[in-house]
Structure 1
Amino acid sequence: MFTHLTAVVLSLAGVTAAPVSLVPAADREIVFTVDGTTTYGTLHVPAHHTGQRLRAALLLPGSGPTDRDGNQAHTSPNTLAQVADALDHDRVATLRFDKYGTGRTGLGAYRDHPEKLDYPAFVRQAKAAYESLRDQPETNPHALTVVGHSEGAMTALLLGGTARPRPTGLALLQPQAIRLLDLVALQLHAQIAEAVRQGQLTPEQQHSIDAAIDAAVTAVREHRPVDTTGLPPAVAQLFKAFQGQNSRFVDSDDAVYPPDTAASLRPGTRVLLTCGTNDAQVPCTTTDALTAALRRAHVSGPGRMPLPGVDHLLHDADHPSTLAPAVLDVLHRFARC
Structure 2
Amino acid sequence: MLNAHAQGTATFNSQDIELDTERGLLKGTLTLPNTPSPLKVVLIISGSGPTDRNGNNPFARNNSLQLLAHGLSDKGIATVRYDKRGVAESKAAAVTEENLRFEDYIIDAELWIRKLKKDNRFSHVLVLGHSEGSLIGMVAARKANADAFISVAGAGQPANQIIRQQLQQQPIMVSLAAAPILAKLEAGETVAEVPPMLLSLFRPSVQPYLLSWFQYDPRQEIKHLQVRSLIVQGDQDLQVPFSEAELLAAAADKSELVIIKGMNHVLKEVPTDRASNIASYSKPTLPLASELIPVISEFIKQLR
Q: Does 1:68 align with 2:49?
A: no
Give yes or no for contact 1:259–1:289 (8 Å, CA) kept in 2.
yes
Instruction: Name the structure 1 match of 2:261.
Output: 308
Counterpart amino acid of residue 289 in structure 1: L
TM-score by length of 2: 0.83
Instruction: Name the structure 2 match of 1:144.
Output: 125
Q: Name the CA distance, whole Å, in 2 between partners of 1:307 and 1:212.
A: 37
Q: How does 1:1-337 map to 2 (within 5 A)?
A: 25-49=12-36, 52-108=37-93, 110=95, 113-140=96-123, 143-163=124-144, 166-190=145-169, 192=170, 206-207=171-172, 209-221=174-186, 222-225=189-192, 228=195, 236-241=198-203, 243-244=204-205, 246-266=206-226, 269-295=227-253, 299=254, 301=255, 303-317=256-270, 320=280, 321-337=286-302
Secondary structure, in 3 states, of the residue corresponding to 2:90? coil
Structure 2's unaligned 5+ residue stretches are: 1-9, 272-276, 281-285
Query: Which digits, 9 at most, give the CA deviation of each residue in 1:251-297, with x for residues without a partner?
Result: 1111111111123211xx221112222212111223343222102xx
Shift of residue 208, structure 1, vs aligned partner:
5.2
Secondary structure, in 3 states, of the residue corresponding to 1:116? coil
Query: Which digits, 9 at most, give the CA deviation of each residue in 1:153-191, with x for residues without a partner?
Result: 11111022111xx2221110000321112212223434x
Give yes or no for contact 1:262–1:294 (8 Å, CA) kept in 2.
yes
Secondary structure, in 3 states, of the residue corresponding to 1:148? strand
Higher CA-based Rg: 1
Give yes or no for contact 1:219–1:226 (8 Å, CA) kept in 2.
no
Secondary structure, in 3 states, of the residue corresponding to 1:95? strand
Structure 1's unaligned 5+ residue stretches are: 1-22, 193-205
Shift of residue 149, structure 1, vs aligned partner:
0.1
Q: Name the CA distance, whole Å, in 2 between partners of 1:107 and 1:251.
A: 25
Counterpart amino acid of residue 304 in structure 1: L
209-218 or 117-126, which deviates more: 209-218
Give yes or no for contact 1:34–1:124 (8 Å, CA) kept in 2.
no
Instruction: Name the structure 2 match of 1:9.
Output: none
Query: RMSD in angstroms over aligned alpha carbons?
Result: 2.3
Shift of residue 209, structure 1, vs aligned partner:
4.4
Counterpart amino acid of residue 146 in structure 1: V
Give yes or no for contact 1:47–1:91 (8 Å, CA) kept in 2.
yes
Q: Name the CA distance, whole Å, in 2 between partners of 1:136 and 1:80.
A: 23
Give yes or no for contact 1:67–1:98 (8 Å, CA) kept in 2.
yes
Counterpart amino acid of residue 31 in structure 1: E
Secondary structure, in 3 states, of the residue corresponding to 1:306? strand
- Among the aligned pairs, what percent are the same residue? 23
Query: Which digits, 9 at most, give the CA deviation of each residue in 1:181-214, with x for residues without a partner?
Result: 2212223434x3xxxxxxxxxxxxx555444443
Secondary structure, in 3 states, of the residue corresponding to 1:115? coil
Query: Which digits, 9 at most, give the CA deviation of each residue in 1:17-76, with x for residues without a partner?
Result: xxxxxx962111111212331111111110023xx2111110000011111111111211
Q: Name the CA distance, whole Å, in 1 between partners of 2:59 and 2:194.
A: 31
Q: Name the CA distance, whole Å, in 2 between partners of 1:186 and 1:225.
A: 23
Counterpart amino acid of residue 298 in structure 2: R
